[in-house]
């Protein structure tokens, strides 16, 4: 299981990790509470279709910044990792857009609607030299 101690052992990682959530719903609340436990190792920022909602999440979870749109988060040089927490029908385009911007990506489950989407993402991640992870909380159970 990932812990603060295991984060310290990751070689060549940039700290703090600057993570931007795309979406500000219930699952982001849960992830934000968990990530607070990592202290200064992870700086969270929030992007929403509603800039005020992003600011509300930033303030509520002591985030580093609020982005006025998903696009703004992807274009920010203050973001290393994008966590796609939009509805599943929107996962594929946002994952591909994040990869195009040179970001590593975490995508909430279910990650994609079609099996072929996985191959498209794999090819895009390889071409960009980036990583894509699925937020699967039952992997070790």
Among residues 35, 44, 43, 40, the alpha carbon closest in space to that of 3 is found at 35
Selected catalytic residue, list 11, 30, 103, 109: 109
- Annotated catalytic, 103? no
Residues with active-site annotation: 109
């Amino acid at each position: 299981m990932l812990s603060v101690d295991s984060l310290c052992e990751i070689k060549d990682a940039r700290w703090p990790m600057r993570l931007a959530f795309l979406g500000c719903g219930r699952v982001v609340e849960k992830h934000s509470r968990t990530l607070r436990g990592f202290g200064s190792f992870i700086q969270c920022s929030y992007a929403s279709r509603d800039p005020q909602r992003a600011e509300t999440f930033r303030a509520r979870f002591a985030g580093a910044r609020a982005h006025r749109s998903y696009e703004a988060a992807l274009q920010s040089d203050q973001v290393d990792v994008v966590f796609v927490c939009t509805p599943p029908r929107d996962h594929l385009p946002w994952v591909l857009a994040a990869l195009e911007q040179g970001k590593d990506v975490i995508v909430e489950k279910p990650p994609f609607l079609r099996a072929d989407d996985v191959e498209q993402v794999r090819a895009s991640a390889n071409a960009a030299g980036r990583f894509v992870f699925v937020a699967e909380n039952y992997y070790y159970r």
